[in-house]
């Protein structure tokens, strides 16, 4: 096997710069893996600004992988809808019913409380240390290590040596700038969204307001698609609410930031709902909620040219920025963490070669690009600022609503880019039928264990490589693969999924046996009992094979592991 890196005395294997959601999530996942980790944050404490507000089913699944789902769910508004309103008419209603990943597709949270939960989670791991009021002044890297110079609160500097440096230091990332990695707009953005290769100020500048003690009881995120001033309002936990107002050319910023102006804008937006009783069944707040934060933001659509430079890797906002209309900014950072941390663990512990880390760019870059395009195009369509554009948009949605299949696709949020990798740590299959499973995100239904407990599937997978087979005879399920040394090196967990109609009385010790309660796994596998599915620790399918393909797959795996 690849030799594990020899650390300096008391030196961390990983240094994370930035204690935002991405950095703290990475520290928790590395802590669960027992990897010595140091988090550096230049501020004296966590941010008290609720920047992100939306978390999707994939993001909550990552929180489950961190072992913090129960604590996080205590402060989440689960399963909200999104309403798009124009001229007092409902253009579209997004109310997905799917729980493919075990959680609702749209939920909201309070970022400061979320970060506090992640920070408390680090107390579980003696191998993780966090230092506030510390700043990375410089760093150099060679083939073996990264050496950082860190300034301490007392004005002195300290040298720290690590194996890998994770830049989770935000959209202005000093580490990214030091590496001269450019941020670029993805091609295919709407033509009106570009001006000389840069974002237009007219499109991007928004007034963002957070309120508490709001008596609006609606649980829907509402997009007021008025071309004269697009507005968004989103419910948050504990009677809080987010408001976003697009800046128009005639706006005077100091006047726009005045509380009286903000309350006027809120009343105008709500008036368009109360004027039509068919749009809202719940009470619309008419009071003056307490404004706890107001600021101007420039929403950007940019992507780093590369996510990895030697032993330095970019995650979250340091690697990509996108408008909030698809609610995918922070969620994309959590996906970065889920993709990368298991690979770092294997490399640092000598279980894989550094080649494995190169798949981070190959897998995440295309998916983030798709999310940026999705968020940008969605915002451009629903938040147009021209009369003609709004008429075309309204006619477009009228056509969609007249076609049931398209209306259902919007309602169920099927237009969102689905998580799937087409290249990276994936091993090809000779069967065209099986290739459709390769790179797919394994669904997470409820399953029943041999003791009768009903659990979400990831609780069984436990952040490990898992070999899954749909089979009705558990004792014989993995007899052909458990002989291979490569499966022991991967510390594979063997999971036999019983079809719904199967009867199993004997306790099996050679593998974990679960019953597919609602048949979701069987459907995902197309009811094929002849295939084995190798699932990575981040729940993506990396191999689908039959007994005859075992030697070939073992040889391909050794290229990464030997």
> For residue range 75-103, what is the model confidence (pLDDT) as tens digits?
999 999 999 998 778 899 999 999 999 99
Q: What is the pLDDT of residues 38-67, one digit of tens each?
A: 999 999 999 887 789 999 999 999 999 999
Residue 209 three-state SS? strand
**pTM beyond cutoff 0.85:** yes
- Give the tokens for residue 239: 């009677």
pLDDT of residue 5: 44
Angle between helices 404-411 and 387-402 (to 10 degrees): 110
Which DSSP string do the residues of 154-186 spell out, in sequence order? TS-EEEEEESEEEE---TT-HHHHHTTPPEEPP
Task: In whole angstroms, give the CA distance from residue 164 to residue 144.
Answer: 9
Residue 411 · residue 509 · CB < 8 Å:
no
Residue 170 · residue 42 · CB < 8 Å:
no
- Which residues partner with 55 through β-bridges? 107
pLDDT of residue 190: 52
- In sequence order, the 6+-apart residues with CB closer than 8 A to the CB of 191 are none
Characterize the bridge pairing of strands 466-470 and 493-498: parallel
The stretches in the chain having pLDDT less than 50 are 1-9, 191-202, 277, 281-283
pLDDT of residue 430: 73
pLDDT of residue 1: 38
Q: Which of 127, 113, 107 has its CA nearest to residue 61? A: 107
pLDDT of residue 275: 52
Kindly provide the b/e burial profile for residues 359-370, where b requires at least 16 CB atoms within 10 angstroms of the residue's own CB.
bbbbbbbbbbbb
Q: For residue 315, is it left (φ>0), alpha (ψ between -120 and 50) or beta?
A: beta
Whole-number average pLDDT of the chain: 89
pLDDT of residue 283: 43
Residue 143 three-state SS? coil
Angle between helices 111-121 and 21-32 (to 10 degrees): 20
């Amino acid at each position: 096997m690849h030799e594990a890196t020899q650390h300096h005395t008391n030196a961390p294997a990983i240094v994370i710069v930035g204690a935002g959601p991405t950095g703290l999530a990475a520290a928790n996942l590395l802590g669960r893996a027992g990897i010595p980790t140091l988090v550096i944050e230049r501020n004296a404490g966590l941010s008290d600004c609720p920047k992100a507000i939306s978390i999707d089913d994939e993001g909550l699944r990552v929180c489950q992988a961190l072992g913090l789902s129960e604590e996080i769910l205590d402060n989440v508004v689960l399963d909200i809808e999104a309403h798009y309103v124009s001229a007092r008419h409902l253009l579209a209603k997004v109310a997905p019913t799917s729980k493919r990943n075990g959680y609702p597709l749209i939920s909201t949270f309070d970022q400061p409380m979320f970060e506090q939960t992640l920070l408390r989670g680090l107390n579980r791991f003696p191998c993780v240390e966090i230092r506030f009021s510390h700043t990375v002044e410089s760093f150099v890297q060679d083939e073996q290590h990264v050496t950082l110079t860190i300034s301490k609160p007392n004005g002195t500097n300290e040298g720290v040596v690590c194996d890998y440096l994770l830049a989770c230091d935000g959209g202005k990332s000093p580490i990214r700038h030091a590496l001269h990695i450019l941020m670029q707009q993805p091609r295919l953005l709407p033509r009106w969204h570009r001006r000389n290769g840069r974002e237009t100020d007219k499109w991007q500048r928004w007034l963002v307001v957070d309120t508490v003690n709001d008596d609006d009881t609606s649980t829907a995120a509402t997009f007021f698609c008025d071309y004269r001033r697009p507005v968004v309002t989103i419910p948050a936990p504990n009677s809080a609410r987010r408001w976003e107002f697009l800046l128009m050319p005639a706006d005077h910023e100091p006047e726009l930031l005045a509380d009286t102006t903000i309350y006027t804008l809120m009343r105008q937006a709500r008036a368009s709902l109360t004027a039509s009783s068919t749009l809202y069944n719940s009470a619309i707040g008419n009071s003056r909620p307490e404004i706890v934060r107001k600021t101007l933001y420039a929403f950007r659509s940019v992507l780093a040219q590369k996510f990895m430079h030697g032993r330095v890797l970019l995650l979250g906002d340091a690697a990509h920025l996108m408008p909030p209309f698809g609610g995918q900014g922070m969620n994309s950072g959590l996906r970065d963490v889920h993709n990368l941390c298991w690979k770092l663990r294997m490399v640092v512990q000598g279980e894989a070669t550094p080649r494995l880390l190169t798949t981070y760019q190959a897998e995440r870059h295309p998916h983030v690009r798709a999310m940026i395009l999705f968020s940008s195009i969605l915002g451009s369509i629903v938040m147009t600022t021209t009369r003609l554009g709004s008429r075309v948009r309204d006619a477009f949605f009228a056509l969609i609503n007249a076609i049931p299949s398209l209306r259902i696709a919007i309602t169920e949020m099927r237009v969102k880019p689905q998580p799937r990798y087409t290249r990276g740590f994936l091993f090809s299959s000779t069967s065209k039928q099986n290739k459709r499973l390769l790179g797919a995100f394994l669904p997470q239904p409820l399953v029943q264990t041999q003791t009768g407990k009903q659990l979400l599937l990831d609780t069984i997978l436990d952040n490990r490589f898992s070999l899954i087979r749909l089979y009705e005879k558990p004792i014989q399920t993995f007899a052909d693969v458990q002989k291979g040394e490569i499966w022991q090196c991967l510390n594979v967990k063997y999971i036999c999924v019983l079809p719904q109609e199967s009867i199993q009385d004997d306790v099996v010790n050679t593998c974990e046996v679960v019953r597919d309660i609602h048949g979701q796994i069987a459907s995902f596998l197309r009811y094929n009992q002849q295939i084995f599915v190798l699932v990575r620790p981040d729940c993506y399918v990396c191999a689908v094979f039959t007994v005859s393909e075992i030697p070939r797959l073992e040889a391909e795996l050794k290229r990464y592991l030997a």
